Structure 1
C-alpha cells in the first residue's frame, strides 16, 4: 500500500497544504484518453495544454503536496509565453522577479557581464525568478478549475501493460490498488522516472563528476536581481559558486563540492553553515544573520532517451532528458516539450492528423535535447571541468580574463532559448521561405508584436493553426479561404488573421484583422508587398511562408503541417 508523506513540508516562506488522496471506488470510471504520470510542473502544464484542445486527461501524482524546496527557479521568456497559453503567466509575473543580467567574477573582479537582449515588443522579461512550489501551486489551481482534468493525489504507478490500442496502468494508493486504462500515457514523472524504469529504457549521454549543493537561505541583501557566478573563490578553491535572488528575501546559493566529499558530509549543518558564512563574507556581509530553508545536492548530467515515444507511452521533461541547469535549461526545456506535444497528441486523438504528426514530437524534441546537450556541455565543462585538461584550459581563461578582453565571452552561459525547428518534417516544401529577406524563418517562433499598451499578438492567438495574411484588399483570396473552410468542416482548428496594410478596419473572411500601423508588422515579418502569408503551428512555430499564396499552395502547406505524407490525405 502506497503511503505518501501526509505531514506538510516545512518552509520559511511557502504554506504547504496536503491534498486528499484519491482512492478507488466502484463508481469511478477508470479509463481516460490520456493518463499523465506526474503532477509536477511538466505534467500539469501538459494537462492544461490538452484541455485547450478539448482533450480530457487524468493526472497521477505520487505525493499529496507540491514539491519540497525551490528547485527550478528561473523561467525564460519562452516559458512565460507558454504559461500565458495555459493561464498562469499573470500570477507568475506578479510574484516573480524579472532580470536580464548575469555577472561572472574571478579574484574579486567582474570579468564578464551577460546582458540578455530585450525588445520593445517583449511582453515578458528574458528571465523571471520564482520558486517552483509557487508555480506548481498556480498550475494545480488552474487544473482544478478545468473540468477536463482529473487530478489524483497519492497515486503511484507500479506497473504498466501496453497493447495495440492503449495501455493499462496498475496504480497503488493509500486505500487500494486499481487499474487505469488509457489510450495514451505520458511519463512526466521526473528524473527518477518510474515508467522509464518499468519499460527498461536507458538514457544516453554524459554525467559529470562536478556536484553542487543547493542552499536556499532567508537573508536581506542589498544586491540586484542578477545572476552572480564566482569562479575559484578563496573559500572554495578551484570550484564555482552561483547565486540568485528569489522572492521573499530568499537567496539561492549553489556551490561546487570537492570531488572527495559525499552528499551526506556536504549537507551536514556544520558544513552548510561554514560555507554559507564564507560566501556571505566574500560579499562583504559582516556577522550575517540568515536562516536555512532547504538544501540538496545535484550533479550535472547531459542525458536523453533516443526516442520519446515508446508504443503508447510518451516521455516529456526530465523523464525524457536530464540537462545541466547551467543556462536554465531543465524545466524550461520540459515546458517546450509540453507545448510541442499537446496539440499534436490532441489532433492525433481526434483523428485529424496524418501519420507523421505525433511522430514529429519525438523527432523534434530529441533533436532539441541533443542540441541543448551539445551547448550545455560547453557551459558545464567550464563550470565543472571533468578532467585535468579541461581544468587547465578553464584556469587559463580565468587568468587571462583579468587583463584580456577577448577571452571574457567564454564565460557566457548560453541561456536556454526557444528552439528553432528549421528542418521539421512539418515545414512546407517548396514554399518561399528562402526568398524572404527578414522575419521568422520556417521553424522559428512567431514574433510577439505589441499591438497597444499591454496588448500583444500572442494575446489574440487561439489554440489553432494560424494563417497570417498581409493584404491591402477588402477580402482574402477566395481559393485560400475555401481550403481553410474545408479543413474546418473536418474539425481542424485554423485561425485566419489579416494584417491590413492599408488600415482597413475589417478584412472579409478573416477571423481577426490587425492594422499594420507604421508598417509595424511588415517590417518585423520581412514583408515588402501585399499578398504574403505566414502559416504557423498551434505552438506558434512558423511552418510555411509565401510571398504570394493561392489555394493550391496553401493546401499543400496545410497537408504537410498536419503530418500527412504522399499517401496520407487530409
Structure 2
C-alpha cells in the first residue's frame, strides 16, 4: 500500500547570502584558501585545514545543506578521517552499520559477501547515512570553527583568473545582494564544486574516461521495517525482468531503491510517479515487505568513470567530483572525495603554514590521480556486471549468475568490490623519502604496511596517569600531524627523540613520538609507553625492539625502519616537506 509523497525526515537550516565589505568591488582581505563548494568534500577539507590553524572560506551556491538522494554509504576509511577531525560520534550514533550483503538471481541467493570486521576494529566497515545528514554533522563542526572557517552562502563563482605572481582572483555573485559581481583574492583555490564544476569549465579542463549508456532510477521511500541493514542486489528479479535492483536501508525509516532501466525505456517517462510506484511495490512484494510506504524522491542516474589527468593547475586544485566521477557501485564516490580532502588537507596546510614547499601539492595530484584510476578500475568492473554495456558482457553475466548457485568458483565474479583504502605504491613522496633515508631497511620487513599504505587498526592500552590504563585503539594515537611509532623502550634513545621533538616544535612541524611495548615492558624508558598487551600490533607490523614506523597526518605510512632512529626520522620529514 502506498501513501502520498512525504518529505525527508529532516529540516535543514537556511542561511542568507551576504557580501563582505568591499573596496572598489573587491574584498580587500586575501584569503589563504578559498574552497569552492560546501558539500562533504569541501567541508572535510576546511576542517582538515582548521586543525592546522589555517583559515579558509567556503563558497557555497545553495542556502543550506543538500536535499535529495545522493551519497548514502560511508566507509570505515572515511570514518577514520572523521575520527581524526573530531566529528565521528554523530555519524556512529545516527548511521546504520553493516558488514556485508547478498545477491540474488531471480528467486535464488547466489552470493554473500562480508567486509573485514574483527575485534581489533574501532569502527564498522560501512554505515548507511543520508548525505544531508553527513553535511549537517560536518557543518555543525564547521560552525564550531567559525574563527578559522568563513562560509559564504548563496554565492556562485562566475570567473577565475590565476595571477602570474601566484594566487587567483575569483569573480562571484551573491543572491539577495544587488546582483552585481564582486571579487575575492585567494592564495590557493580548491574546486570541490561537483561533477558540473564551474572552476573546471573556467580553466578549460575536461574529464576523460568512460560514460556508460545504462541508466538507473533512484527512489527514496519511507518504510518502517525491522529488516537488517545489508546491501541487497537482485539480478533479473520478477519486479524488474532483465535488469538489476539494489536496496539499501537508511536511518529514519528511509530506504534507497535503485533499479536499472531497460534499453528501450524512456528515462523521462520512467521517473513519472505513475510508472515508478508499481515498480517499487513489485520490489517490496518480492522482498516480503508488506508495510505501508510512501515515496520521497525520484531521480535518474547514469554511470560515469572519468577523471582529470592532473588535480593541480597552478594555484588551483581539484577534489571530489570536480576531479573525478566514479560509478556508484562499490560506494566510491563520496568516500574517494573525502579521501581527497584528507590527503590535500595536511599538505596544503603545511604549505600555507610555511613548513613545506609547494611541490608537496604535486604529490597530492600524483597520489590521488593514482587512487582515482584504481577506484575507476574497480568501479568499471562492478558497473559492467551490474549494467552490462554489450551483448558479450550480458552473456557472461547471465552465465555466471546461472552457475553461481551450485558452483562456488564463479561467485567471486558477483562481488561488488566495495571501496577500500588505496595504497600509494608509486608515490613521489615515498620515493623522495626513500632516496633520503634508503630503502634497504624496508626490504627487511616480511610483513606489515609498506610505505604508502594506510596503518591498520589494533587494540592497545594507554597509561591513565593514576597507575591504571585505559583501552584505546591505534588510530586514537594519530593526532593532526606526523606520528613516529617507536617499538620497544630504549633509555639510550630517549634523549635523541626529545631533542627531535624540540627541533620540530621550533620549526612548527606537528609531530609526536609514541613508544609502544608488548606486555609489561614499559619500565625501560623515561617516555610514557603505550602497551600492546598481546603483542598483536608487533606481529601485524613485523615490529621488534628498535623498529620505527613514521606515519603521515593522513594515516598512511611515510617510512619504516627495522632499526630506526630520531636522526633517520628527521631526514625523512625533511625530504617529505621539501619535495
1:160 aligns with 2:164: no
Residue from 510, 522, 530 that aligns with 1:504: 522
1:437 aligns with 2:453: no
Instruction: Give the CA deviation at 1:553.
Output: 2.9
Aligned partners of 1:89 and 1:446: how far apart in 2? 18
Match of 2:265 in 1: 261
Name the CA shift for 1:473/1:134 in 2 (closer, same or farther; >3 Å).
same
Aligned partners of 2:112 and 2:10: how far apart in 1? 32
Equivalence map 1:142-181=2 (5 Å): 142-146=141-145, 147-164=147-164, 165-174=166-175, 175=177, 176=179, 177-181=181-185
Aligned partners of 2:347 and 2:8: how far apart in 1? 41
Q: TM-score, normalised by structure 2?
A: 0.92
Aligned partners of 1:269 and 1:555: how far apart in 2? 63
Q: TM-score, normalised by structure 1?
A: 0.93
Output the aligned Cα RMSD.
1.9
Match of 1:5 in 2: none
1:526 aligns with 2:545: no
Q: Is the 8 A contact 1:214 1:295 kept in 2?
A: yes
Aligned partners of 2:67 and 2:484: how far apart in 1? 43
Deviations 1:482-526 (A, max 9, x none): 445333322211111111345326944x5x531232323322321
Name the CA shift for 1:222/1:484 in 2 (closer, same or farther; >3 Å).
closer
Deviations 1:175-228 (A, max 9, x none): 042111100000000111111111111001001111111111011234210100
Match of 1:471 in 2: 488
Stretch of structure 1 that moved more, 113-122 or 346-355: 346-355
Q: Is the 8 A contact 1:10 1:16 kept in 2?
A: no
Instruction: Give the CA deviation at 1:327.
Output: 0.6
Equivalence map 1:374-413=2 (5 Å): 374-413=377-416
Aligned partners of 1:440 and 1:60: how far apart in 2? 38
Equivalence map 1:364-379=2 (5 Å): 364-379=367-382
Aligned partners of 2:524 and 2:201: how far apart in 1? 55
Name the CA shift for 1:356/1:12 in 2 (closer, same or farther; >3 Å).
closer
Residue from 565, 576, 579 that aligns with 1:550: 565
Q: Secondary structure at the match of 1:248?
A: helix
Aligned partners of 1:449 and 1:561: how far apart in 2? 27
Instruction: Give the CA deviation at 1:69.
Output: 1.4
Deviations 1:420-468 (A, max 9, x none): 1122122231232221122222111122322257632222322111111
Q: Secondary structure at the match of 1:441?
A: coil
Q: Is the 8 A contact 2:490 2:524 kept in 1?
A: no
Stretch of structure 1 that moved more, 351-360 or 290-299: 351-360
Residue from 24, 34, 43 that aligns with 2:20: 24
Aligned partners of 2:578 and 2:124: how far apart in 1? 34
Stretch of structure 1 that moved more, 464-473 or 349-358: 349-358
Stretch of structure 1 that moved more, 207-216 or 171-180: 171-180
Aligned partners of 1:371 and 1:198: how far apart in 2? 27
Q: Is the 8 A contact 1:123 1:454 kept in 2?
A: no
Stretch of structure 1 that moved more, 91-100 or 26-35: 26-35
Match of 1:447 in 2: 456
Match of 1:102 in 2: 101
Equivalence map 1:38-57=2 (5 Å): 38-57=37-56
Match of 2:11 in 1: 15
Q: Secondary structure at the match of 2:416?
A: coil
Deviations 1:326-366 (A, max 9, x none): 11100000011011000100111122114531110000000
Aligned partners of 2:492 and 2:402: how far apart in 1? 65
1:311 aligns with 2:308: no
Q: Secondary structure at the match of 1:407?
A: helix
Stretch of structure 1 that moved more, 415-424 or 428-437: 428-437
Q: Is the 8 A contact 2:497 2:513 kept in 1?
A: no
Instruction: Give the CA deviation at 1:476.
Output: 2.8
Instruction: Give the CA deviation at 1:85.
Output: 1.6
Aligned partners of 1:353 and 1:279: how far apart in 2? 55
Structure 1 regions of 5+ residues with no counterpart? 1-8, 565-570
Match of 1:66 in 2: 65
Aligned partners of 1:328 and 1:156: how far apart in 2? 29
Q: Is the 8 A contact 1:216 1:293 kept in 2?
A: yes
Aligned partners of 1:300 and 1:37: how far apart in 2? 24
Q: Is the 8 A contact 1:426 1:563 kept in 2?
A: no
Aligned length: 552
Q: Is the 8 A contact 1:537 1:561 kept in 2?
A: no
Match of 2:466 in 1: none
Aligned partners of 2:301 and 2:230: how far apart in 1? 22
Q: Is the 8 A contact 2:459 2:532 kept in 1?
A: no
1:278 aligns with 2:274: no
Deviations 1:542-568 (A, max 9, x none): 01111112354333322232243xxxx
Name the CA shift for 1:218/1:358 in 2 (closer, same or farther; >3 Å).
same
Instruction: Give the CA deviation at 1:480.
Output: 5.1
Stretch of structure 1 that moved more, 199-208 or 517-526: 517-526
Aligned partners of 1:307 and 1:95: how far apart in 2? 36
Match of 2:467 in 1: none
Match of 1:131 in 2: 130
Aligned partners of 1:274 and 1:557: how far apart in 2? 62
Equivalence map 1:213-362=2 (5 Å): 213-286=217-290, 289-362=292-365
Aligned partners of 1:560 and 1:139: how far apart in 2? 33
Name the CA shift for 1:551/1:116 in 2 (closer, same or farther; >3 Å).
closer
